[in-house]
Amino acid sequence: MPVFTLAEIAEHIGGELQGDPNVKITNVAEIDKAKAGEITFLANPRYREYLANTGASAVIIDAKAGVTPAIPYIQAIDAYYGFLKAFLLFNAPKKMLEPGVHPSAVVHPGARVGRDSAIGANVYLGANVQVGERCQIFPNCVILDDSSLGDDCILYPSVGIRENCRIGSRVIIHNGAVIGSDGFGFAPYQGKFHKIPQVGRVVIEDDVEIGANATIDRATLGETVVKAGAKLDNLVHLAHNVTVGENTVIAAQTGISGSTKIGRNVMIGGQVGTVGHIAIGDRVQIGAKSGVRKSVGDDEIIFGSPARPIMKTKRIEAALNSLPELLKRVKKLEEALGK
């Protein structure tokens, strides 16, 4: 494990050091578990109570913390991001696969693999597949005909990418995710559901991360699109023809119905569900377990099922909590009126 002085860490994260610059740091740690020789951070005010008793040798804070630690500290513009940069000093990403094609991989003669990319055991690359440079494709991944990956992508084991999908650069896709499965399209006729061929594709832009067992359906016609910088958690489902805007984050077990358009910098909590054919504006925040049944304008914060502006939902919840007592009072009034 490398060792850095506080001065070196402060310079690396672009923070202002207060205290002994020669203190040696051997690792990073959470504020309530840190030991001597480790550096921690304070970004969430709820953890402020741990600061006085932390065993860390130093802490990263930001101006909003409103505290002056008794131990040496680095004041950063954003303590959480500063800690991330410090974390990477001690935990640099490692390539787990050696460049080259494993002997058990099946690579179509028409497929192309870029320089320094690694193709793991039992991987299948179909006709006209294009893999960029420095990609890591782990065992048992499948990429079907005419799909492409940009540079520096990571596909963890058992990822499936169907035909004619486009994946940008620096995309990370975790175990078991499926990109380009058929959209849920059927035409009811004479008591039966007849499958509508799904002939569109999925486009994943640069710097997207997709969690384990997420599923992104191909478009019926046209494209299902996840734009640059978006992050999808485990078990997220995007139906056919959905668009997810730049730098939007979607937490686990959320399902987005077909043809819904989501703006940029949106934050969606876990287990959210939406109806189809609606638009969600930029910078919207949607609380966990919400059911979104109509379009949402820019900068709104909504919560509940059905989802409403968050303060309205809180007032409704408060009224519901008072309902048993209110019913008792009504019953007493009815009895008094009856007499």
Catalytic residue annotation: 240
Largest CA distance in the chain: 92
Q: Which residues fall within 8 angstroms of residue 75, CB to CB, at 6 or more apart?
A: 15, 16, 18, 60, 61, 62, 63
CA 95 – CA 117 distance, rounded (Å): 11
280: enclosing H helix or E strand: strand 279-280
User: Residue 230 has which token pair?
Assistant: 């978006």
**Structural contact between residues 135 and 152, judged by C-beta atoms closer than 8 angstroms:** yes
**Structural contact between residues 220 and 237, judged by C-beta atoms closer than 8 angstroms:** no
CA 80 – CA 65 distance, rounded (Å): 12
Distance of CA 19 to the CA centre of its chain: 36
User: Residue 285 has which token pair?
Assistant: 């925040």
Q: Is 112 helix (H, G, I), strand (E, B) or coil?
A: strand
CA 148 – CA 43 distance, rounded (Å): 39
**Structural contact between residues 220 and 196, judged by C-beta atoms closer than 8 angstroms:** yes
Alpha helices in the chain (DSSP H): 6-13, 79-90, 310-338
- Of residues 154, 103, 148, 141, the one with CA closest to residue 127: 148
Dihedral, CA atoms, 33, 35, 38, 40, nearest 10 degrees? Answer: 30
